[in-house]
Amino acid sequence: MQEKIYEDNWPLFEKVLGYLRYLTVKKYITDEGKPVCADVGCGFNGRFLFSIASKIKRGYGIDIRANEVEKGNITLINNSLCGGGIPLESNSVDRVFSLAVIEHLNDKDLALIFSESVRILRPAGKIILTTPTPLAKPVLEFLSFRLGLISRESILEHKHYWNKRELFALMERYGCEVVKYKKFQFGMNQLLVAKKISKNQTQVLK
């Protein structure tokens, strides 16, 4: 029996938004040398990781719907069979990316993802995330439900639109210090870069 291959099939406008998001975060990939990176919530085919493959030493894409692939320095891992955790060693990566992911997570999944993301980060490693602002909610719903320019399924999955204060509190909760925050795409998207400051991150999930 052939293994199922998942396709993202994004509408063209959504692909453009994704590309612009990638351009915004690419500058935070390297400080020196080539980092080991994890893209948590990489999607079906790890588009972002493959777009930065030449800039990094090793890349791991993690998603419960990922097509498992190993190509060059990129490995995509479907973590649905390990309880949604991240099957990488502690303190093993320099960068964790989470691009347009946290708005899709309920509280339980968010706690798991962030505990695991900080666990796999080396001390002083960085989390780079993007998530739409509350201002984007009616715009995204109009583009999706009325115009069909963005995946309806994706917008229906949105659980929460985060504001700046909530994002800073989230980073503090998991032992990270925000080093960069900015809004982009006319204030409807936001970028946050945070550095791991806890040497021993052993968040206990309840």
Please give the share of the chain, as a percent, with pLDDT higher than 90: 75
Find out whether 62 and 41 touch, Cβ atoms under 8 Å.
yes
pLDDT at 19: 80
Mean pLDDT of 84-108: 95
**Which residues are registered as beta bridge partners of 9?**
none
Q: Is the pLDDT of residue 4 over 70?
A: no
pLDDT at 28: 85
- How far is it, in rounded angstroms, from Cα 41 to Cα 115? 14
- How far is it, in rounded angstroms, from Cα 98 to Cα 38? 9
pLDDT category at 199 given cuts 50, 70, 90 is low
pLDDT category at 81 given cuts 50, 70, 90 is confident
pLDDT at 26: 86
Mean pLDDT of 31-39: 87
Tell me whether residue 100 is in a domain: yes
Q: Write down the mean pLDDT value for the chain.
A: 89
pLDDT category at 1 given cuts 50, 70, 90 is very low
List of residues 6+ apart from 49 with CB closer than 8 A: 37, 39, 42, 59, 60, 61, 74, 76
Find out whether 88 and 120 touch, Cβ atoms under 8 Å.
yes
Tell me whether residue 202 is in a domain: no
Mean pLDDT of 36-52: 95
Tell me whether residue 173 is in a domain: yes
- How far is it, in rounded angstroms, from Cα 167 to Cα 194? 10
Find out whether 131 and 101 touch, Cβ atoms under 8 Å.
yes
- The dihedral region occupied by 186, where left means phi > 0, alpha psi between -120 and 50, and beta the remainder, is left
Phi, psi of 68 (to 5 degrees): -70, 120
Q: Is the pLDDT of residue 6 over 50?
A: no
pLDDT category at 10 given cuts 50, 70, 90 is low
Domain interval for residue 189: 12-196
Mean pLDDT of 130-145: 96
Find out whether 116 and 86 touch, Cβ atoms under 8 Å.
yes
pLDDT at 20: 84
pLDDT category at 23 given cuts 50, 70, 90 is confident
Tell me whether residue 147 is in a domain: yes
22 vs 77, more confident: 77
Tell me whether residue 41 is in a domain: yes
User: What pTM was computed for the model?
Assistant: 0.88
* Helix, strand, coil distribution of the chain in percent, nearest 5: 35, 25, 40
Tell me whether residue 76 is in a domain: yes
DSSP 46: -
Tell me whether residue 151 is in a domain: yes
Tell me whether residue 171 is in a domain: yes
Q: How many domains does the chain have?
A: 1
Q: For residue 40, what are the CA distances in angstroms to 24, 65, 141?
A: 17, 11, 25
CATH number for the domain that contains residue 117: 3.40.50.150
Distance spanning both ends of the chain, measured CA to CA: 39
Lowest mean pLDDT among 25-34, 101-110, 125-134, 185-194: 25-34
